[in-house]
Amino acid sequence: MSENQDRKRSNLLVQVEGVHVMEHIANNYNKVSAFCPDPSDLLIATYPKAGTTWVQETVDLLLHSGDSETCKSAPIPVRMPFLENSARPGIPSGLDLLKAMEPPRVIKTHLPFHLVPKGFWENKCKVIYVARNAKDNLVSYFYFDQMNLTHPDPGPWEGYIQKFMHGQLAWGSWYDHVKGYWEERERRNILYLFYEDMKENPRREVERIMRYLDLSFSDDIISRIVELTSFKSMKDNPMANYTFMSKTIFDLSLYTFMRKGEVGDWMNHFTPQQAEEFDEDYEKKMKHVNIPFRTQL
């Protein structure tokens, strides 16, 4: 299944407090951990491939009253720094970008709850978390790891499922990630969203985010934001679709960043036996929490 199984990538994952991350993230982590946000800053947190970019674009449009021109002023990682990322060709590190920006800032992270800099909680920052059902999240990550040349080679599909189940992908265990924020969502006033809800009723979810941000807009503006954040609009938006990334990072000749954007694509990938084993393991790992994930609509 993996077209680039033979390609050798030397990049390995290392652990920070038991969480697998890219080496450059681990090397940068002490500085990240000491980052002190402003109380007006907003954090968008996700496990990779859960719908981060979709929520980022939605938030940016909400903060700019649906003004698409302003939101097309720069690539999304420049508008909303990726907290723990170090400098990439053409994009400064998250911390350097943040230093140069005045609050209120919108900040992206894939860090699990316990690795988020404490300042976000001490300063009572707003946090939006987006979660996507495990099987679709895994499929999306599998394609992403093929085209993201800075990540370890994903290897064949079967082995990739095992890595996901054992938390051996960048940013660690999906299970711990979604549970970590879920368990803290009320105490920390985290807005916990689901990718599947956004697909089912994008307008309802845009309005939910709008209310969380203490904003209020006319029906027309909300409709415009829903339209501008549709899969098709974002796929065609060069400031949101990651075509701006250097070819040394994303090999878009393999797969595009805005790949499919669907719920239930896992059914095109898991064999019945793989799904059965995955579900059995899932039940064990998720039995103490009741997070209402949906694997199809």
In whole angstroms, give the CA distance from residue 286 to residue 73.
Answer: 41
Which of 28, 53, 93, 146 is close enough to bind ligand PPS by CB under 6 A? 53
Compare residues 28 and 140 and give the one whose CB is closer to ligand PPS.
Answer: 140
Contact 285, 293 (CB under 8 A): no
Of 110, 109, 86, 111, nearest to 96 by C-alpha is 86
Binders of ligand PPS: how many residues, by CB under 6 A?
19
Question: End-to-end CA distance of the chain, in Å?
Answer: 26
Q: Whole-number minimum distance, CB 114 to ligand PPS, in Å? A: 19
Q: Does 164 bind ligand PPS (CB under 6 A)?
A: no
In whole angstroms, give the CA distance from residue 288 to residue 274.
Answer: 23
Q: What are the phi and psi torsion angles at 3 (to 5°)? A: -75, -15
Q: Does 51 bind ligand PPS (CB under 6 A)?
A: yes
Active-site annotation holds for 20: no
Which of 213, 261, 274, 277 is close enough to bind ligand PPS by CB under 6 A? 261
In whole angstroms, give the CA distance from residue 187 to residue 251.
Answer: 41
Q: Whole-number minimum distance, CB 50 to ligand PPS, in Å? A: 5
Which of 19, 22, 42, 50 is close enough to bind ligand PPS by CB under 6 A? 50
Ranked by CB distance to ligand PPS, the top (closest) residue is: 261
Compare residues 123 and 244 and give the one whose CB is closer to ligand PPS.
Answer: 244
Which of 46, 86, 146, 237 is close enough to bind ligand PPS by CB under 6 A? 46
Site for ligand PPS in 225-244 (CB under 6 A): 229-231, 234
Q: Whole-number minimum distance, CB 244 to ligand PPS, in Å? A: 13
Q: Which residue has the tokens 């420049």?
A: 78
| Long-range contacts of residues 85-94, Cβ cutoff 8 Å, at least 24 apart | 85/24, 85/25, 85/28, 86/24, 86/25, 86/27, 86/28, 88/150, 88/245, 88/246, 88/249, 89/246, 89/248, 89/249, 90/244, 90/245, 90/246, 93/28, 94/32
Q: Does 154 bind ligand PPS (CB under 6 A)?
A: no
Q: Which of 20, 110, 151, 177 is catalytic?
A: 110
In whole angstroms, give the CA distance from residue 130 to residue 111.
Answer: 13
Q: Whole-number minimum distance, CB 259 to ligand PPS, in Å? A: 3
Q: Does 49 bind ligand PPS (CB under 6 A)?
A: yes
Q: Does 76 bind ligand PPS (CB under 6 A)?
A: no
Element housing 20 (H / E)? strand 19-22
Compare residues 57 and 184 and give the one whose CB is closer to ligand PPS.
Answer: 57
Strands 126-131 and 42-46, by their bridges, are: parallel
Question: Which of the stretches 13-21, 50-58, 183-191, 219-227 binds ligand PPS when contact is defined by CB under 6 A?
Answer: 50-58
In whole angstroms, give the CA distance from residue 263 to residue 135.
Answer: 10
Site for ligand PPS in 172-211 (CB under 6 A): none
Sign of CA dihedral 272, 273, 276, 277: negative
Q: Which residues lie near ligand PPS (CB under 6 A)? A: 46, 48-54, 140, 143, 229-231, 234, 258-261, 265
Q: Tell me the catalytic residues.
A: 110
